[in-house]
Amino acid sequence: MTPAIRPTQGIAAPTEWYSLNPLWQGNEAIVQRGLPHPQLAPAWQVILLGDGSPTRYLQLLTGEPTEVDVIDMSLVNSDLDGAPDVIQAVPAPWLRRQVWLRTASGQRLAYAASWWEASHVDEYLQNRSLPVWANLAKLRTELYRDIQGIEYGSSAPLEQAFGQAGPFWGRYYLFWHHGRPITLIYEVFSPYLEKYLGPTRGS
């Protein structure tokens, strides 16, 4: 397991989002093909490259409800915001949302930033304190999770927030609904999940 870093009690609300400083990046073709198991173990590939709900996966892994701490809701208008280039598939202006995904008992498991078409965000996030998956499940919204890229990299703010040493694995994807992209989501997972998934590198 990745050695833990002592977490700090308070982390200020961000004015920017927590992107990884990539050591390695994979595009959509690599996502479709999958990674060699020595690079990323099969169980981790299911989480990172699968098209299911991470909120649901985390709940099944930990046996606890997955809850969110919303740390940022910012109107970024038409600013590309340092987001992956595919943000341009989502109609602007954009509202950026940042959350921690954690167990009900308080263990942070993942970080997510998302960019929504500002004029429609309230349709899909009717309860902004719930995970995206929970909101959309309540609406019975049919979605396609279109994974665009995967990253492995470092982030000092995420080391502090997770209480875990990096590097970290992350991914980004578009959600499609009725033939149009409604949001771009960027997720980074804590190495704490090795407790349930085993080491990130396979044999």
Q: What is the CATH classification number for the domain harbouring 137?
A: 3.40.1410.10
pTM of the model: 0.85
Q: Is the pLDDT of residue 139 over 70?
A: no
> Residues of the chain with pLDDT > 90: what percent?
59
Residue 9 lies in a domain: no
Q: What is the dihedral of CA 135, 138, 141, 142, to 10 degrees?
A: 100
- Tens digits of per-residue pLDDT, 90-134? 998 998 999 999 999 999 999 999 998 877 766 656 555 555 555
Residue 12 lies in a domain: no
Spacing of C-alpha 115 from chain mean position:
12
Average pLDDT value over all residues in the chain: 84
Residue 32 lies in a domain: yes
Q: Which of 121, 135, 131, 136 is nearest to 54 (CA)?
A: 131
Q: How many CA atoms lie within 13 A of 154 on its CB side?
A: 3
At residue 89, the 3 state secondary structure works out as helix
Structural domain total, the chain: 1
- What's the Cα-to-Cα distance from 155 to each of 18, 77, 163, rounded to whole Å? 7, 26, 12
- Tens digits of per-residue pLDDT, 21-61? 999 999 999 999 999 999 999 999 999 998 888 888 999 99
Residue 2 lies in a domain: no
Residue 16 lies in a domain: no
Residue 151 lies in a domain: yes
